[in-house]
């Protein structure tokens, strides 16, 4: 057995980097913090690759095992309730290690160029390192409680980084929104964890996900409101996962989160943190599959609905980062569908494997899309499509890499997205036709909106630029090229040999009946975008007018934000919060203020007594004595 | 016994002296006058001691000795008080009790 104890360093290095740059970064030249962060991440990246190699390829066994190199007792609340902190290595966590460190490392390099000269450069790097540490801790968690802690930590980092430009009111509002929405969802996660551990008496993933274990036997009969207790627990945990992964109806925070710097969007809101929800479901997959299949298929439907819903919105948006944000929602929906339709063991585990595969390829191509979008914004100084056009001549490297990522997300072979998306579709086809058709249509919409974006930016009208856009510096283009290579060739990684719900690899075969139609609809989407946006014309305008109200509703994101505002402002604030606030302000505060006011009034009246004049005191004293003497004489004498 | 004078005459004198002293202590502002008033109070007490000793226990001497002690202590007290008053005068060129409030706040 290989010694994996060095994996502990993978999260610890970013933590140390965070501590040092956070404490001393202000005193150093900004670039020093950036370089320290980048070098630290480079080491973590190398170690992750080493771990991935040793775990997957060095041992030639038929199946993989969970390895726990470290597991410290952290909180010993009672003999039966103990919480550990540790490192768990199994196929999905090792894969996530590689994904997180790769994207984080690329983002670190990229930010050296993108954030150059930005105020708070050191702060930015400190937060990036903290985030990387938290995310790595999350994926390596040995128990669900450790996972929850890191869940909250990544949420806090997300808040800090979205609000990085804290002088911009919209960024502050977006940060607050993201934090509140995910926090609200995390409440569900916490309650779910508590229910689950209350009945099973353990937090450990090892024990929880052991198929055929007996810890669930005495939960079986319990139910609440017609739904079994275990379903409640797993459903609530999924609510937390949906909050982090921005599934409908918790998706509202993600598009606003684009107020953060673009590298942050690439790292947190495209590749790593938002897939934490998918990862959670995958981690607890055996429980979902064996004990609460109803919740699992519910997850599939939520994912399917979100993917279609977000893809439709993405068509109408003009802010390039927002298009990508909705695209992220849609792709995460795909992963949820993959998990929802998956079975356990052998070929039935295809959906699970495909979801993890898609997570991997999506991290590469969506990270790339965001970084390329950052390079475009860097060159044009605008987020809006109307300010772009014809950029292929000015930004050749960005153009090629963006094209690679667009082809990957559209599922065109041989790019990475093709393999993973195709396997999700295949898994859905075999178990749930409704989800299959939803995802099939979504695939077409996906390729349409992404090529709408592509043609609008790089082709379309010949915009006259005030400053000639220049290609980004080398430290920004190298990550782009690296990720473009990953997006192009990443699909050839034999994932089915590596990842399976029961950790026993299985063989997959290509089903032409699914491959051909999915490639066809991808090409159809591209063709549609080609016709509408390749050359400047007025067809999109006409379609907009023709669609009328339907277009407006979509452009306004189906008024979900407005509904949320209505519920919170009109109902919760006006009907509940305001009366409570009135009671607090007038009754509770009034009582306390009254006590204070009476004391002040009385003391104002009697403060004249204390003059400090000795003679006056003597007079009072003597007068008092005389009064006493006279009284005594009168009554006693 | 002193001819024609009863204990009451003495006590009336000492009571008058005591209350004149108390009134002076309360009313007057001049520190010297206040000191004089205190002396009056002390002396009225001395008279009381002597009178009670003389009229009630003529064969004992405690009252006399007590009076001597009080006179001695009064002298010491007066010297201390006058030293204080002189210092106050040096400081604020004034010996009015109302003005000696520097230490109050």
**Residues of chain A found within 8 Å of residue B101, distances taken between Cβ atoms:** 612
Q: How far A611 CA sits from the closest chain B CA (Å)?
A: 10
**Residues of chain A found within 8 Å of residue B26, distances taken between Cβ atoms:** 615, 618-619, 622
**B97 and chain A: CB distance < 8 Å anywhere?**
yes
**Residues of chain A found within 8 Å of residue B104, distances taken between Cβ atoms:** 612
Report whether pLDDT(A542) > 90.
no
Q: pLDDT averaged over chain A? A: 85
Cβ–Cβ gap B26/A613 under 8 Å = no
Average pLDDT, integer, range A610-635? 87
Residue A33: CB atoms within 10 A of its CB come to: 26
Average pLDDT, integer, range A525-537? 82
Q: Which of A615, A619, A620, A626 to mutate to test the interface with B (most CBs of B within 10 A)?
A: A615
Q: Which DSSP state fits A381?
A: S
**Residues of chain B found within 8 Å of residue A613, distances taken between Cβ atoms:** 98
- pLDDT classification of A491: cutoffs 50, 70, 90: confident
**Residues of chain B found within 8 Å of residue A622, distances taken between Cβ atoms:** 22, 26
Q: pTM of the full predicted structure? A: 0.77
Q: How far A618 CA sits from the closest chain B CA (Å)?
A: 6
Please report the ipTM that was assigned to this predicted complex: 0.74
CA A330, CA A310: separation in Å to the nearest integer?
Answer: 5
Report whether pLDDT(A426) > 70.
yes
- pLDDT at residue A1, rounded to an integer: 57
**Distance set, CA A124 to CA A11, A231, A327, A475 (Å):** 18, 41, 26, 17
Report whether pLDDT(B104) > 60.
no
**Distance set, CA A558 to CA A189, A294, A309, B46 (Å):** 27, 28, 9, 105
Least confident of A17-21, A177-181, A387-391: A387-391
Beta bridge partners of A73: A84
- pLDDT at residue B81, rounded to an integer: 93
Report whether pLDDT(A630) > 90.
yes
Average pLDDT, integer, range A175-188? 90
Local structure of A392: helix, strand or coil: coil
- pLDDT classification of B45: cutoffs 50, 70, 90: very high
Cβ–Cβ gap B101/A619 under 8 Å = no
CA A232, CA A209: separation in Å to the nearest integer?
Answer: 17
Q: Which of A610, A620, A622 to mutate to test the interface with B (most CBs of B within 10 A)?
A: A622
Cβ–Cβ gap A615/B26 under 8 Å = yes
Domains of chain B and CATH, by start: 30-98 (1.10.287.3510)
Each residue of A561-570: pLDDT tens digit? 788 878 877 7
Q: How far B32 CA sits from the closest chain A CA (Å)?
A: 14
Beta bridge partners of A295: none
Q: Residue A558: left if φ>0, alpha if ψ -120 to 50, beta else—which one?
A: left
**Distance set, CA A426 to CA A72, A275, A339, A423, A508 (Å):** 42, 21, 12, 5, 10
**B103 and chain A: CB distance < 8 Å anywhere?**
no
Cβ–Cβ gap A618/B26 under 8 Å = yes
Question: Of how many residues is chain B composed?
Answer: 105
Cβ–Cβ gap A612/B98 under 8 Å = no
For tokens 């034999």, the residue is: A494
Q: How far A637 CA sits from the closest chain B CA (Å)?
A: 19
> What does residue A221 show for φ and ψ, rounded to 5 degrees?
-80, -20
Least confident of A166-175, A542-551, A584-593: A542-551
Cβ–Cβ gap A614/B97 under 8 Å = yes
Long-range contacts, stretch A200-206, CB < 8 angstroms, 24+ apart: A201/A80, A201/A81, A202/A143, A203/A83, A203/A84, A203/A143, A203/A144, A203/A145, A203/A146, A204/A84, A204/A142, A204/A143, A204/A144, A205/A88, A205/A141, A205/A142, A205/A143, A205/A144, A205/A283, A205/A284, A206/A66, A206/A68, A206/A88, A206/A142
- pLDDT classification of A421: cutoffs 50, 70, 90: confident
Report whether pLDDT(A536) > 80.
no
- Tell me the residues of chain B between 51 and 90 that have a Cβ less than 8 Å away from chain A: none
- pLDDT at residue A136, rounded to an integer: 92
- Give, rounded to a whole angstrom, the gap between the first and last alpha carbons of chain B: 55
**Residues of chain B found within 8 Å of residue A624, distances taken between Cβ atoms:** none
Strands A227-228 and A67-76: unpaired
**A559 and chain B: CB distance < 8 Å anywhere?**
no
CA A624, CA A104: separation in Å to the nearest integer?
Answer: 85
User: Hey, CA dihedral for A522, A524, A527, A529, is it positive or negative?
Assistant: negative
Local structure of A86: helix, strand or coil: strand
- DSSP E strand boundaries for A16-94: 67-76, 82-89
**Residues of chain A found within 8 Å of residue B27, distances taken between Cβ atoms:** 615
Q: Following DSSP, what letter does each residue of A230-295 receive, concatenated?
A: HHHHHHHHHHHHHHHHT-TTSTTHHHHGGGS-HHHHHIIIIISGGGHHHHHHHHTHHHHHHH-HHH
Cβ–Cβ gap A618/B25 under 8 Å = yes
Report whether pLDDT(B20) > 90.
yes
Contacts of A153 (CB under 8 A, 6+ apart): A130, A134, A137, A138
Contacts of A629 (CB under 8 A, 6+ apart): none
Q: Which of B22, B24, B38, B96 to mutate to test the interface with A (most CBs of A within 10 A)?
A: B22
**In chain A, whose CA is at the least distance from the CA of B98?**
A613
Residue A86: CB atoms within 10 A of its CB come to: 18
Q: What is the dihedral of CA A328, A334, A337, A343, to 10 degrees?
A: -120
**In chain B, whose CA is at the least distance from the CA of A622?**
B22
**Residues of chain A found within 8 Å of residue B97, distances taken between Cβ atoms:** 614-615
Nearest alpha carbon to residue A136 among A103, A165, A109: A103
Nearest alpha carbon to residue B22 among A563, A626, A123, A117: A626
For tokens 């495209």, the residue is: A270
**B22 and chain A: CB distance < 8 Å anywhere?**
yes
> What does residue A411 show for φ and ψ, rounded to 5 degrees?
75, 40
Q: Tell which wins on pLDDT, B83 or A201.
A: B83
Show the tokens assigned to A1. Answer: 């057995």
> What does residue A152 show for φ and ψ, rounded to 5 degrees?
-65, -40
CA A360, CA A98: separation in Å to the nearest integer?
Answer: 9
Local structure of A68: helix, strand or coil: strand
- pLDDT classification of A526: cutoffs 50, 70, 90: confident
Show the tokens assigned to A260. Answer: 């953060």
Question: To the nearest whole percent, how much of chain A has pLDDT over 70?
Answer: 97
CA A163, CA A159: separation in Å to the nearest integer?
Answer: 6
Q: Tell which wins on pLDDT, A295 or A463.
A: A295
Q: Tell which wins on pLDDT, A532 or B72.
A: B72
**Residues of chain B found within 8 Å of residue A618, distances taken between Cβ atoms:** 22, 25-26
CA A94, CA A79: separation in Å to the nearest integer?
Answer: 31
CA A375, CA A109: separation in Å to the nearest integer?
Answer: 13
C-beta of residue B46 within 8 angstroms of C-beta of residue B68 = no
> What does residue A582 show for φ and ψ, rounded to 5 degrees?
-60, -45
C-beta of residue A317 within 8 angstroms of C-beta of residue A283 = no
Q: Which DSSP state fits A471?
A: P
Average pLDDT, integer, range B93-105? 74
Q: How far B3 CA sits from the closest chain A CA (Å)?
A: 32
Q: Following DSSP, what letter does each residue of B46-89 receive, concatenated?
A: HHHHHHHHHHH-TT--HHHHHHHHHHHHHHHHHHHHHHHHHHHH
Cβ–Cβ gap A613/B98 under 8 Å = yes
Q: Which of A611, A616, A617, A619 to mutate to test the interface with B (most CBs of B within 10 A)?
A: A619
């Amino acid at each position: 057995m290989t010694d994996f104890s060095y994996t502990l360093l993978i999260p610890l290095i970013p933590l140390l980097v965070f501590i040092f740059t956070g404490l001393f970064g202000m005193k150093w030249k900004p670039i020093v913090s950036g370089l320290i962060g980048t070098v630290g991440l480079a080491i973590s990246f190398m170690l992750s690759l080493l771990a991935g190699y040793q775990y997957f390829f060095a041992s030639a066994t038929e199946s993989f095992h969970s390895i726990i190199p470290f597991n410290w007792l952290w909180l010993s609340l009672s003999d039966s309730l103990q919480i550990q902190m540790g490192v768990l290595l199994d196929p999905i966590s090792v894969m996530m290690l590689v994904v997180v460190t790769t994207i984080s490392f690329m983002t670190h390099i990229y930010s050296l160029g993108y954030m150059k000269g930005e105020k708070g450069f050191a702060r930015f790097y400190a937060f990036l390192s903290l985030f990387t540490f938290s995310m790595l801790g999350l994926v390596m968690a040995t128990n669900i409680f450790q996972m929850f802690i890191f869940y909250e930590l990544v949420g806090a980092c997300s808040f800090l980084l979205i609000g990085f430009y804290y002088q911009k009111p919209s960024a502050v509002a977006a940060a607050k929104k993201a934090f509140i929405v995910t926090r609200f969802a995390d409440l569900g996660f916490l309650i779910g964890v508590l229910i689950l551990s209350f009945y099973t008496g353990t937090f450990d993933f090892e024990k929880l996900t052991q198929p055929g274990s007996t810890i669930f036997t005495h939960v079986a009969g319990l139910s609440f409101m017609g739904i079994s207790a275990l379903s409640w627990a797993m459903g609530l945990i999924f609510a937390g996962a949906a909050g982090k992964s921005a599934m409908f109806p918790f998706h509202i925070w993600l598009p606003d989160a684009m107020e953060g710097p673009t590298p942050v969007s690439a790292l947190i809101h495209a590749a790593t943190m938002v897939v934490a929800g998918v990862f959670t479901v995958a981690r607890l997959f055996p429980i979902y599959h064996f004990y609460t299949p109803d919740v699992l298929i519910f997850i599939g439907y939520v994912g399917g609905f979100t993917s279609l819903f977000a893809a439709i919105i993405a068509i109408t948006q003009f802010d390039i980062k927002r298009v990508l944000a909705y695209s992220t929602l849609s792709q995460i929906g795909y992963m949820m569908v993959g998990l929802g339709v998956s079975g356990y063991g052998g070929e039935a585990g295809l959906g699970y494997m495909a979801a993890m595969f898609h997570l991997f390829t999506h991290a590469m191509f969506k990270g790339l899309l965001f970084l390329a979008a950052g390079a475009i914004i860097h060159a044009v100084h605008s987020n809006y499509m109307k300010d772009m056009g014809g950029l292929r001549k000015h930004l050749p490297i960005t153009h090629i890499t963006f094209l690679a990522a667009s082809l990957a997300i559209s599922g065109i072979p041989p790019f990475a997205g093709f393999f993973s998306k195709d396997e999700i579709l295949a898994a859905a086809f075999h178990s749930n036709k409704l989800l299959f058709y939803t995802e099939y249509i979504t695939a077409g919409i996906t390729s349409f909106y992404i090529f709408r974006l592509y043609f609008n930016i790089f082709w379309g009208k010949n915009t006259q630029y005030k400053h000639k856009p220049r290609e980004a510096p080398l430290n920004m283009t190298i990550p782009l090229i690296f990720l473009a290579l990953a997006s192009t060739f990443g699909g050839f990684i034999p994932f089915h040999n590596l990842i399976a719900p029961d950790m026993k690899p299985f063989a997959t075969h290509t089903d032409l009946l699914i491959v051909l139609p999915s490639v066809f609809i991808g090409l159809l989407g591209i063709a549609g975008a080609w016709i509408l946006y390749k050359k400047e014309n007025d067809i999109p305008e006409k379609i907009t007018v023709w669609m009328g109200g339907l277009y407006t509703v979509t452009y306004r994101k189906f008024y979900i934000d407005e509904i949320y505002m209505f519920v919170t402002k009109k109902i919760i604030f006006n009907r509940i919060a305001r009366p409570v606030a009135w009671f607090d302000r007038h009754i509770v505060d009034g009582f306390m203020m009254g006590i204070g006011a009476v004391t002040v009034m009385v003391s104002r009246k009697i403060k004249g007594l204390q003059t400090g004049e000795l003679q006056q005191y003597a007079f009072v004293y003597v007068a008092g004595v005389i009064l006493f003497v006279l009284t005594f004489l009168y009554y006693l004498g | 016994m002193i001819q024609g004078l009863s204990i009451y005459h003495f006590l009336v004198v000492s009571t008058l002296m005591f209350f004149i002293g108390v009134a002076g202590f309360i009313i007057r502002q001049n520190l010297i006058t206040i000191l004089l008033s205190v002396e009056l109070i002390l002396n009225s007490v001395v008279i009381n001691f002597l009178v009670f000793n003389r009229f009630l226990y003529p064969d004992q001497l405690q009252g006399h000795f007590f009076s001597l002690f009080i006179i001695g202590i009064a002298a010491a007290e007066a010297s201390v008080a006058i030293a204080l008053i002189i210092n106050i005068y040096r400081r604020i060129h004034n010996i009015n009790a109302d003005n000696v409030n520097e230490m109050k706040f």
